[in-house]
Amino acid sequence: MFEAVEVGHTLSREKYNAALPKLRSDLLNAHFALRGQKFPVIIVISGADGAGKGELVHRLNEWLDPRGVETHAFWESSDEERERPQYWRFWRAMPGRGRIGIFFGSWYTDPVIQRVYGKTKGSQFDTALDRIAAFETMLVNDGALLLKFRLHLSKKEQKNALKRLEKEGHTTPTDWRHFKLYDKFTKATERAIRRTDSGLAPWNLIEATDRHYREFTVGKILLEAIQRRLRDAPAATSAPAKSAAELASKPADKAGETVLDRVDLTQELTDAEYRDSLAEQQAKLARLVWAAHNKQRSMVMLFEGWDAAGKGSAIRRVTQAMDPRLYRIVGIAAPTDEERAQHYLWRFWRQLPRAGFVTIFDRSWYGRVLVERVEGFASEAAWSRSYQEINEFEEQLTERGIVINKFWLHISPEEQLRRFKERKTITYKQYKITDEDWRNRKKWNDYRIAVNDMVARCSTEYAPWTLVAGNDKKFARVQILKTIIKRLEAAL
């Protein structure tokens, strides 16, 4: 592939100086026009040592309005980063909509280096690359303008470049060590580019021998991409709803039986059974949560369910068994404006627990394929691709050793009605019942279908859904405790 990069491109200082003022003012104007826009610009800069990445990033900062640009390098990770899934440090660096993020070093760095040094096999490398492709597709589908640049030097040119830098005292031992691995780097990089080069997130290979040429070319590509995007916006919502047809072709599902119908809602516990069981399971959980803490294992659990299904009280029975220093409950309501400026998963990434701790989500990322789907807050294209995004997200948590528990609290419509009526009459429960609850109830069937799809598509081996038989609250609570305990025991 790199052989195909045309060589010998230069731009004379005169031509550069003559063309630069217009490029700069165009870039600045494009940057100002970006401000009000609902998409971020993500620029990935990669390339061989000595190819001028640092200078290029410097130049971009100079040409753009530096107040709207964030440059992120990913040097040694902090302990807070190491305790989270790999991509956490990238998520926390993501620019909000209307801003530009320059990634100097990125999600490509580690996989390539590990492959070059033989620490991963080819198949592991491919898996890492597929994850990158999925990650980038997700960002672009959400509206991000993603630009990837690879500064290319031939072996000979790199050697010359490093020699020049060495004279100026700007090389490190790593540079020469990497140079000796030039061919391996080339091979790994070519593979990485081939596997992650898509129409949505294309690579730009830039011949890097001549500073004027490479900087001007990158500036020009950036400018044109922003301008094109500003003309075409909003692109995010017009993305092809590829799953829409697929979903529509399953009318049987809509009318027929769903996974929820197979939940045995008659299961119940007597008061005595409940008292004994609850105490026993809570004691067990208390010990396990400390054991997990001591082993630096984390846990994420989430609760979804029908209105009045008893999420709040079920969560209480879980937290009663845990030291408050070890868990945090995150209630998911309307996003803050900082959250709205990001991909919908961002608000969940930011809440992931440190090693040894627990985060409990009261409602969760599944809102995307439940309320947002049913109410039409997200387009069909958007929510239908979320299943895959969510599976990928949960897979990453699992790889970091985070134990995931997902509960859908199920009750029958009759039981819900009974509880709604009860709430109206009991003073201290009245705050719990709103008009919205009655409105949601009318959409029972839509939710039924949505829950079915969610469970079918996102019940993975590593993060299965648990459907909780909730008509009897006592049974439900004990079922939840037992499930958490089982998964924790299996993990420890």
Q: What does the binding site for a second copy look like in residue numbers (CB under 8 A)?
A: 25, 28-29, 32, 54, 57-58, 61-62, 65-73, 78-80, 102, 104, 312, 315-316, 319-320, 323-325, 328-329, 331, 336-338, 354, 362, 428, 431
Residue 405 near residue 468 (C-beta atoms within 8 A)? no
Between 58 and 275, name the residue whose CB sits nearer to a second copy.
Answer: 58
| Cis check: omega of the bond before 234, within 30 degrees of 0 | yes
| Nearest CA-CA partner of 296 in 355, 250, 349 | 355
Closest approach, Cβ 45 to a second copy, in A, equals 11
Closest approach, Cβ 480 to a second copy, in A, equals 15
Between 85 and 398, name the residue whose CB sits nearer to a second copy.
Answer: 85
| Nearest CA-CA partner of 50 in 209, 205, 219, 214 | 209
Q: Which residues contact 257 (CB under 8 A, 6 or more apart)?
A: none
C-alpha torsion sign, points 419, 424, 428, 434: positive
Closest approach, Cβ 78 to a second copy, in A, equals 5
Residue 468 near residue 409 (C-beta atoms within 8 A)? yes
| Nearest CA-CA partner of 480 in 356, 362, 311 | 311
Which one-letter amino acid corresponds to residue 372? E
Closest approach, Cβ 180 to a second copy, in A, equals 25
Q: How far apart are CA 412 and CA 420, in angstroms?
A: 12
Which one-letter amino acid corresponds to residue 456? A
Between 6 and 79, name the residue whose CB sits nearer to a second copy.
Answer: 79
Between 240 and 324, name the residue whose CB sits nearer to a second copy.
Answer: 324
Closest approach, Cβ 118 to a second copy, in A, equals 29
Element (H, E) at 71: strand 69-73
Q: Which residues contact 98 (CB under 8 A, 6 or more apart)?
A: 34, 35, 36, 37, 38, 39, 40, 68, 341
Between 7 and 33, name the residue whose CB sits nearer to a second copy.
Answer: 33
Cα angle value 333/337/342 (rounded, 5°): 95
Residue 129 near residue 190 (C-beta atoms within 8 A)? no
Between 81 and 197, name the residue whose CB sits nearer to a second copy.
Answer: 81
Length of the chain: 492
Q: What is the DSSP string of 136-186?
A: HHHHHHTT-EEEEEEEE--HHHHHHHHHHHHHTT---HHHHHHHHTHHHHH
Between 188 and 278, name the residue whose CB sits nearer to a second copy.
Answer: 278
| Nearest CA-CA partner of 221 in 234, 209, 207 | 207
Q: How far apart are CA 239 and CA 224, in angstroms?
A: 21
Closest approach, Cβ 121 to a second copy, in A, equals 32
Between 168 and 232, name the residue whose CB sits nearer to a second copy.
Answer: 168
Closest approach, Cβ 139 to a second copy, in A, equals 21
Residue 286 near residue 320 (C-beta atoms within 8 A)? no
Closest approach, Cβ 104 to a second copy, in A, equals 6
Between 181 and 329, name the residue whose CB sits nearer to a second copy.
Answer: 329
Between 79 and 436, name the residue whose CB sits nearer to a second copy.
Answer: 79
Q: What's the helix, strand, coil split of the chain in %, to 5?
A: 60, 10, 30
